[in-house]
Amino acid sequence: MFDSAIFDFTDAEIREAAAANRLLSIEIEFNRLCNYRCPYCYAGDPETELPEMSSELADSVIRQAAELGARKVVILGGEPLLYPELERKIELVNSLGMGAEIFTNGALLDEAAARMFAAHNCRVVVKLNSLDPAVQARMTGEPEALELAQRALRLLREAGCGAGRVAASSVICSENVDGMPALWRYLREREILPYFEMMTPQGRMLENRHLMVEPARLRQVFEEIAAIDAQFGFCWEPQPPLVGGKCFRHIYSCLVNASGDVMPCVGVTTKLGSAAERPVRDILFDSSVIRDLKNYRKMIKGPCRTCRKAQECYGCRGAAYQMTGDYLASDPLCWHNIGRESEIAVLPCDARSLVPHKPPMVMVDEVLSSGQTSEVLAVIRPDNRFLDGGGVLDRAALPELVSQAGAAADAFRNDGAVKPGMLVGCRKIEYFRDIRVGDRLVVSLEETAALDGWHIVAFNVVKEGEPDTVASGELKLCVLES
């Protein structure tokens, strides 16, 4: 018996799961291999090596999801139907009391696959970006894509997948934006769930930016679809990035990609850890990124923080991360932020205003990235007080430089709030080469533990553009509330 409650969550259930550090769902890529070449795909270059998750790791992640309270496993790709163990993994999902939701382009979905999905009470989401055969072909790289998608939807219904079990996914872009309202009506009339979303500028989209749609036009489309949906008895207020829905996946879900990397979602591509090395529970519990996203009402920066919808929306975190480098930035594609783009900070940014130090003591220049690992640029200038007569930086000054980098990264994460702090300890510091005047250093920092203002930060220092480590180690920092 199909239970739609397994697949869909109420706002109360999401809040309760977040408070209890439980999952409601998990997204898994078993593989990255795909028979389509969609120009907007987040997966990127199809010519690079395409990983496939080991069977053992896939089983482990599925079991861990059940232990964390997940009700459904969302199977992404690549194309799931190219994964040879797909049915066995779905059987494992079911045996643990969860449901499987599969995103497929539908080209390989035959009668046997449809019967298999029906037998296992799956929800199947078929790629359908347009009712225009030429548009559907351009957006998939497959000339017969529309016919194949419609065939897949028909086979699923004939196999017994009823209402709530068959869906169609669409991304809104310049190619199909004018046809979105008609496609939505087409799906509602056939009791096919519509999954429409805005595009995230990443992967192959970076080479096809002409597909992006301006926020004002997106708003028009969302509002037109909302008016259509009201005729079918569905009432909702438009907000990005999902048509007719809200995206809070970062506080009740996560992604494990085909390489085993754990990430908040396919858009927020900061690696939180490896499921092959640590339990997913520990990775999520220890992640400062997940803590920030769960505390979004306090942590989101810029105009999104003061938006009237701030209590029930945080925009698209993927769009924010891909366009600004900051997963806490305001969503640049949200129409509520039209005219306020200058208030949205973009990385890299000046680090000197983010530390309490003044010249010539300040040694950091730019915050380059922010995420589970943050990166800060430090240029060793001739006026640096810690240089000897030969222009070599005193190795005893390295902890101070790294501490400043940590302070800048923390202030950036906290919307520019500069907090006083102290370096209280160093461990495992190794030096592999001298640091000299003129060197441009990239300091990578990852918080490995935190409690009541005390932070353990692992660091690695390289010269910009060079792979070899200059120095590494661990600092203990105390951050004081101002």
CA dihedral 393, 397, 398, 402 (to 10 degrees): -130
Of 114, 110, 149, the residue nearest 131 (C-alpha): 149
Of 300, 280, 446, 321, the residue nearest 372 (C-alpha): 446
Name the CA radius of gyration of the chain, rounded.
24
Integer CA distances (angstroms), 25 to 8, 253, 269, 273, in order: 10, 5, 18, 18
CA 157 to chain centre: 32
What is the reported pLDDT for 46? 52
What is the reported pLDDT for 49? 61
DSSP state of 140: T
Alpha-carbon distance of 408 to 364, in angstroms, equals: 8
Q: Which two tokens stand for residue 45?
A: 């270059």
Q: Which two tokens stand for residue 410?
A: 């923390």
Q: Residue 337's CB: how many other CB atoms inside 10 A?
A: 20
Looking at the DSSP assignment, which residues form a beta bridge with residue 442? 377, 462
Instruction: List the 99-104 sheet strands across, edge first.
Output: 193-198, 166-172, 123-127, 99-104, 72-76, 25-29, 255-256, 261-263, 273-274
- Specify the pairing of strand 99-104 against strand 72-76: parallel
Phi then psi dihedrals of residue 187, to 5 deg: -70, -45
- Which residue in the block uniquely carries the two structure tokens 């938006």? 307
State the 10-residue block means of pLDDT for the chain, 482 residues long: 74 91 96 93 66 96 98 96 97 98 98 98 98 97 97 98 95 97 98 95 90 96 98 95 91 96 95 97 94 91 91 90 96 95 94 90 96 96 94 96 94 89 90 97 93 90 96 91 62
What is the reported pLDDT for 4? 64
Alpha-carbon distance of 197 to 391, in angstroms, equals: 54
Return the half-sphere exposure (C-beta side, CA atoms, 13 A cut-off) of residue 424.
11
Q: Which two tokens stand for residue 265?
A: 């979602």
Q: Which domains does the chain have, with CATH numbers?
A: 4-324 (3.20.20.70), 349-479 (3.10.129.10)
What is the reported pLDDT for 2? 53
Looking at the DSSP assignment, which residues form a beta bridge with residue 300? none
What is the reported pLDDT for 421? 82
- Encoded amino acid at 358, one letter: K
DSSP string for residues in 381-393: -TT-TTB-TTSBB
- Which residue in the block uniquely carries the two structure tokens 């690992």? 373
What is the reported pLDDT for 51? 87
